[in-house]
Amino acid sequence: MFKVKIKKSALTVIDREPLAAGASKVYHVTFIFDEEWDGLSKNAVFKAGDRAVSILLESDTCEIPWEVLDKDNIGEPLWVGVFGSDTEGVKLPTVWNILEIIQPGAELSGSGSEPTPTIVSQIYEAAKNAEQKAGEASEKAAGAQNYAKEAEASALSAKQCLESAAKYSEEAYGYAIECGQNLEAAVNIAKETEDTASNIKNEYSNAVKGTLLGAAVAASDVSPNEHDLSVKVSSKNLIPYPYSTGSKTNSGITFTVNDDRTITVSGTAESATNFVFANKNSDITLENGKYYTLSGAGTAMAYQLPDGTYKYLSANKSVLWSSDYTFVHIYYNIPNGTTLDNVIIPAPQFEVGTSATEYAPYVDVEGVNVRLTDGENEQTATSDAEGNVTGLISASPNMTLTSDTENVIIECEYNRDLMKVIEELTQAIISLGGNI
């Protein structure tokens, strides 16, 4: 068993064993990834001599493909590398490293092995199976619809017979009731079958998600299967206004909140004192796995780690947020003994991303209009008090989302076109030196 430790792009082999040429399905490699690889799709690439084979890592352990252990590679080093990616465009390759030198191995004449399936072959096979299942369900739905039409025709015939013979025959009336019940049952069966087909189609065809984030966003790889979009708007500046602290005098320092949201400070600090822009009771929601950046000279943010330790983020710095962290406050500190005469503290900004951008005031996200267009048709929907926007339907293959409200960020989750995802993955594997 081989063990490989991966820290970002560094790849280190920590456990080895001899490699015999001609072996198949007997050597395994376990990869130990650090947190940089969380959420990434991982592909292992093995290379010896002129052969390179890629393996999609469905778990952290895989077999060494027999092709690279061919007897033609005796005496050659077996190299290994890993390539990671996600649907947001992140690409993370490791450096190459040598697992072991391939040694001669005993063999029987006429022995051989089936070729290792390529990654793209595996993905295409999964897509083909999904399409077949959706097609089978659609055929069942069509059959049920035909049955419903036949039952409806029978019901109509029964009704005509009832109108002409109702006064003579209770039997005809009973037959019409029975046909009506059959019609209702057939319609229900057709509806259930159609729902099943739709669910299968969504499950398999729309499984790959894409995310858009920005003041105006666009996508060119939208799934051809129409679906509801998950859309939310938020203020670019996440610090609510009015601030947690208003104008006040504390420890000899007077803080005055100005109309432009800056703070005028005067006085001599009798002890260290803070002006708090936002605290744990403020309406700030931070999401796990997202980067956030603070700006505003002199402003800082305090947050707490799971072990109780406090960490501090200074202006023009970023933090990768974890759900294990606890937000404390965003503040401006005046040290003890400091004398200030009408000094202006700039309005701070806390935003999604890894770099500070131009200041924008906080915006109330309720009632923001979001427009979606595909170049020919247009849809419009309005956000609720939480910023959620419902009622927008995907447009394929291209769609653009904009808003007429300044300083808001649009976040949209949509289903990607599976064939375009496969095409991108193929190009990524080729760039790493793998085979397709």
Q: Tell me how far apart the alpha carbons of residues 372 and 212 are, in angstroms, rounded to a whole number.
A: 13
Q: Which CATH number fits domain 209-236+364-415: 2.30.29, 2.60.120, 1.10.3470, 1.10.150?
A: 2.60.120
**Mean pLDDT for the chain overall:** 86
**Alpha-carbon dihedral 30, 34, 40, 46, rounded to 10 degrees:** -40
CB-based contact 255:263 (threshold 8 Å): yes
pLDDT (average), residues 245-274: 96
CA atoms within 13 A on the CB side of 379: 16
pLDDT band at 201 (very low <50, low <70, confident <90, very high): very low
* pLDDT per position as a tens digit, 268-299: 999 999 999 999 998 899 999 999 999 998 89
16 CB neighbour count, 10 Å cutoff: 13
Is pLDDT above 90 for 391? Answer: yes
Q: Tell me how far apart the alpha carbons of residues 377 and 83 are, in angstroms, rounded to a whole number.
A: 40
Please give the pLDDT value at position 172: 47
CB-based contact 154:179 (threshold 8 Å): yes
pLDDT (average), residues 354-376: 94
Q: Tell me how far apart the alpha carbons of residues 236 and 403 are, in angstroms, rounded to a whole number.
A: 13
Q: How far is CA 430 from CA 52, 86, 149, 234, in A?
A: 10, 16, 53, 39
* pLDDT per position as a tens digit, 88-130: 999 999 999 999 999 999 876 554 566 666 665 655 565 566 5
Q: Which of 335, 334, 303 is nearest to 317 (CA)?
A: 303
Q: Which CATH number fits domain 2-116: 3.30.1360, 2.60.40, 3.40.50, 3.30.200?
A: 2.60.40
The two structure tokens encoding residue 26: 């007997």
pLDDT band at 200 (very low <50, low <70, confident <90, very high): very low
In the block, which residue shows the tokens 């924008």?
360
What residues pair up with 51 in beta bridges, in sequence order?
48
Question: pLDDT exceeding 70 applies to what percent of the chain?
Answer: 79
Least confident of 38-52, 80-94, 134-148, 355-369: 134-148
pLDDT (average), residues 238-257: 96
Q: Tell me how far apart the alpha carbons of residues 273 and 261 are, in angstroms, rounded to a whole number.
A: 19
pLDDT band at 427 (very low <50, low <70, confident <90, very high): confident
